[in-house]
Amino acid sequence: MNKKFNVIKINGLKGLFIAAFIVGCLIAGFLIFPGWLCMHVWNFVAGFFTDMPTMNMLHGSILWCIVALSLYAINKGNLSISFGHSAPVVAANEERIKEILRQINEKNTQIIASEKQIDDNHSENSQNDNNDDKIVK
């Protein structure tokens, strides 16, 4: 069983209200507030021009979605969000990389040594086979 996954239990009506509150806060924080901000920026800029229409909240949210998805597409998916219990530490990562490289080098030397033994055994067997093929008087 993978121990990296956490199970969230929602018990009763109180748990449902808390879950709905969390979802509502996420929607407000990532969609409604940036949409409201886009709406006001657009309407501010539209005040300087005569033919620009003004936006309402729905249009501001749609504009925000267009901007956010365009930025995500430009980054080609390099932007990632990770929910976890530990933050990466640069020094620990460098030490971990050095440890992995050391283990790879050890495995490579073991593989090379075992291949060398196999080649030596194969060459000895082929020499014995060559000796068996000789006609002895």
Query: How does pLDDT run across 22-32, given as a tens digit for each residue?
Result: 999 999 999 99
Cβ pair 29, 22 in contact under 8 A: no
Query: What is the DSSP code (8-state) at residue 85?
Result: S
Distance CA 61, CA 65 (A): 6
In single-letter form, the type of residue at position 40 comes to: H
Cβ pair 46, 26 in contact under 8 A: no
Give the model's pLDDT for residue 21. 94
Tens digits of residue pLDDT in 75-118: 876 666 666 655 555 556 788 888 899 999 999 888 888 888 88
Give the model's pLDDT for residue 61. 93
Higher pLDDT, 121 or 2: 121
Give the model's pLDDT for residue 87. 57
Cβ pair 19, 10 in contact under 8 A: yes
Residue ranges per structural domain of the chain: 11-80, 87-125
State the pLDDT confidence band at 67, using cuts at 50, 70 and 90. very high
